[in-house]
Amino acid sequence: MTIETLPWDPIQHLTTDAARKAYLEAAFADGDPKLIAAALGDIARSKGVTALAKESGLSRDAIYKTFRAEGNPTLGSVSKLASALGYRLSVTEITKR
10-residue stretch averages of pLDDT, the chain, 97 residues long:
90 96 95 94 96 96 94 95 94 81
Domain assignment present for residue 92? The answer is: no
What integer pLDDT is reported at residue 32 of this predicted model?
93
What integer pLDDT is reported at residue 34 of this predicted model?
94
Domain assignment present for residue 57? The answer is: yes
Specify the number of domains making up the chain.
Answer: 1
What integer pLDDT is reported at residue 50 of this predicted model?
96
Domain assignment present for residue 10? The answer is: no
Q: What range defines the domain where residue 38 resides?
A: 17-84
What integer pLDDT is reported at residue 84 of this predicted model?
96
CA dist 51 and 90 (Å) reads 24
Domain assignment present for residue 63? The answer is: yes
What integer pLDDT is reported at residue 78 of this predicted model?
95
Instruction: Report the 10 Å Cβ neighbour count for 32.
Output: 12
What integer pLDDT is reported at residue 91 of this predicted model?
87
What integer pLDDT is reported at residue 92 of this predicted model?
84
Domain assignment present for residue 36? The answer is: yes
Domain assignment present for residue 80? The answer is: yes
**Helix, strand, coil shares of the chain as percentages rounded to 5?**
60, 0, 40
Domain assignment present for residue 3? The answer is: no
Domain assignment present for residue 62? The answer is: yes
